Amino acid sequence: MTKRQILIILLLVVFFGGGTIFGIFTRQGKIKLNDLLVNESPISSQSSSSKIYYTPDVPQNAVITPPVLEDSASPNIGAEEKFRSFNLKISQNGYNPQKIVVNKDDIIELKVEAIDRNYDFNLPALGIYLSMKKGETKKTSFGVRNSGTFIFDCRDYCPLNKKINGSLIVLP
């Protein structure tokens, strides 16, 4: 073997070995959540308020919220995954409904409407943010692959002197 061939082999070993070690350390203690890497511990905001936006805890008495529309999310007969559509209205009184309960692996569609002024909808643990003008409705769809409680709130357009929030509870 020539010195050049030895150098190339050595560089390949270092490159692939380093990549493998890096991959192991960056994935340690993480779970995949809608293509986002999220710590298994509760997720808090990046601000100094340290508000919790996700916890793996699920309330014992949680019951599925009746959706506006429900259908099978899979063409497979007997599949448990559902497509569930909800209307979420935002006003100075807060979110209505304030709590939405679904099953793990459901596909969720939210139609979010700003009733009496400009509002926003912030679901940071799933990377969702919508901003609506008064009377406007916006739609977002996403899958929920992990059970737990996800907090949504207003981020930039809240009622006067008031922070509003709600929760998306995902049953196992």
Q: Which amino acid is at 171?
A: L
* C-alpha–C-alpha distance, residues 125 and 130, integer Å: 14
Does residue 40 have a pLDDT over 60?
A: no
Q: What is the DSSP string of 89-107?
A: EEETTEEESSEEEEETT-E
Q: Where are the domains of the chain?
A: 1-32, 34-171
What is the model's pLDDT at position 71? 81
The fold for domain 34-171 equals Immunoglobulin-like (2.60.40)
With 0.75 as the threshold, say if the pTM is over it.
Answer: no
The pLDDT assigned to 26 comes to 52
Q: How many residues does the chain have?
A: 172
What does the pLDDT read at residue 12?
Answer: 79
